Amino acid sequence: MSLQIEQLVKETKKIASDLNIEKFDIFGTEKEESSASAKDKKPFSLTSSIRSSLILRVWNQNQQMGVTRTSNLTTEGLSEAFDLAKSSAEFGSRENIYEFSPECHTKTMINHEKKELKELTPIQELMHGAISAEEKILNASLDFKSVPYNKVSEAKSSRFYFNSEGAIKIEENQISFCYFYPLAHEKDRKPRQSGHLELASSFANLDILTCAEKAIKKTKDHLNYTSIQNGKYPVVFSPEAFLDLVNAFANFMNAQNILDKKSLCHQDSIGQALAANDFCLVDSPLHPLNMSKSYFDEEGTPTRELTIIENGVLKNFIHSSFTAKKMGYAVTGHANIGAKVTVSPHFLYIKSSNKNIEKKDYLNENNLIYVESVSALHAGVNELQGSFSLPFDGFYINDKQKVSIEAATVAGDFLSLLKDIYYIGDEEFAVPNGISPIVWVKSLSITGL
């Protein structure tokens, strides 16, 4: 990586001293990325970039905090950022007093898992991978007209935190991904689209053609479609769809949302039954299958595995140092700093506490809906009421037949859904936003469009 973080630490300390700033901290990121896309079996978009930015917090003598962001990491840019943060501290809150995390000096797990970053793959190889995959998809069937959404990418990134007390933390990561979403159009039928996203620790480990094959299969599965009658159906969620839904309602586990009274739970919810009695939810940022591990949050607090729900019972909220102190809990490593410190989960892991004696296969069920993916989460979710109505791609299962649904929405209440879970698969699937088995829910409203 091009950014010399140790030199940045020395430079910021000198600037702070020159401006008589005694207390400050910084969280920053740097990302170097190359990507390629294809169109009509030719190169379409080739991009390479290096981006760096940081968030600076400065405290004055009254413990008021000022915040600024900058991507200008020259001496002049840093000086301007410090000066602006110092000035804005005069307008900082006197009620919500933020402090350094009590664990900002605590060592993280990164020393045990550190990996050596490799040079990024030449962009010509990314381009060749994108073209080969697009060609494979277009040659798979005359019904495949184009692959409007496709990309092959590789990136190196670093995250760092340091403060005026001498705490310093640095982590680096490398990741590669590709996705392909073909558009298929049969004669006298509506166009259909699906696709697949694949992640790997490096370009050398990224199986681009297998990703293309999965995209082909998923899209072909949706070519034979039917309309669906409105009504209540038992619903099976794919791992991706269920994790998307849980993340959309993450305010139930979010301590800052609870303090702001913008959560489905409240402070006394700990210990209450929230879901089916075999449902378990863990935030597992350091899970071996997480390609984007975070070893510390933006306050420098080490991350860790945290049980949110165990056997259906709410066990913990996720915290920043501010919410932990306010509510009397330990920090958990979930803070995002800014003018107001926010909280969010890292990598959710859903599992059952019971091994199923009777194995279920949704393909053997009748009159059942399989939700493959949900969309419009920004518009179809009412986080404060707990209700949702979301367009989805999926299938109607009946008489051992799996037929794609032309267009429909799935609607319900999130907390009721958690309690209506009646089967959790044994096989767990790692997807970009977490790990989950398929999850069966007793009944949700399905509306055909």
Q: Which of 320, 310, 392, 317 minimizes the C-alpha distance to 349?
A: 310
CATH number at residue 134: 3.30.2290.10
Tell me, yes or no, whether 190 lies in a domain: yes
Structural domain span for residue 284: 250-351
**Mode of pairing for the β-strands spanning 168-184 and 192-193:** antiparallel
The verdict on 238 and 386 lying in the same domain is yes
Q: Which of 58, 130, 120, 114 minimizes the C-alpha distance to 91?
A: 58
Quick one: tokens of 130? Answer: 């994108």
The verdict on 305 and 340 lying in the same domain is yes
DSSP-derived secondary structure letter, 340: S
Domain final residue, candidates 330, 351, 372: 351
The verdict on 396 and 267 lying in the same domain is no
Q: Which of 51, 5, 337 minimizes the C-alpha distance to 13?
A: 5
Q: How many domains does the chain have?
A: 3
Residue appearing with tokens 């900082």: 92
Residue appearing with tokens 């099976």: 236
Could you list the beta-strand ranges (E) of 212-318.
225-226, 231-237, 279-283, 306-310, 313-314
Q: Which segments of the chain have a pLDDT < 70?
A: 1-2, 110-115
The verdict on 288 and 413 lying in the same domain is no
Quick one: tokens of 327? Answer: 């509510």
Tell me, yes or no, whether 104 lies in a domain: no
Q: In three state form, how does the secondary structure of 79-121 look?
A: HHHHHHHHHHHHHCCCCCCCCCCCCCCCCCCHHHHCCCCCCCC
Tell me, yes or no, whether 400 lies in a domain: yes
Quick one: tokens of 189? Answer: 């039928």
Per-residue pLDDT at 11: 97
Tell me, yes or no, whether 325 lies in a domain: yes
The verdict on 336 and 359 lying in the same domain is no
Tell me, yes or no, whether 33 lies in a domain: no
The verdict on 230 and 371 lying in the same domain is yes
Tell me, yes or no, whether 269 lies in a domain: yes
Per-residue pLDDT at 111: 54
What are phi and psi for residue 142, nearest 5 degrees? -65, -20
Domain final residue, candidates 351, 367, 383: 351
Tell me, yes or no, whether 139 lies in a domain: yes
Calculate the dihedral angle through the C-alpha atoms of 246, 364, 194, 377, rounding to the nearest 10 degrees: -20
- Residue type present at position 320: S
The verdict on 394 and 411 lying in the same domain is yes
CB proximity list for 416: less than 8 A, separation 6 or greater: none
Cα distance between residue 265 and residue 422, in whole Å: 22
The verdict on 186 and 235 lying in the same domain is no
For residues 294 and 158, the answer to whether their CB atoms sit within 8 Å is no
CB proximity list for 125: less than 8 A, separation 6 or greater: 203
Domain final residue, candidates 324, 351, 378: 351
Per-residue pLDDT at 3: 76
Tell me, yes or no, whether 293 lies in a domain: yes
The verdict on 293 and 314 lying in the same domain is yes
Q: At what angle do helices 5-18 and 75-88 cross, to 10 degrees?
A: 50
DSSP string, 129-186: HHHHHHHHHHHH-TTEEEEEEEEEEEEEEEEEEEETTS-EEEEEEEEEEEEEEEEE--
The verdict on 274 and 329 lying in the same domain is yes
Cα distance between residue 269 and residue 261, in whole Å: 13
- Residue type present at position 127: M
The verdict on 287 and 220 lying in the same domain is no
The verdict on 218 and 361 lying in the same domain is no
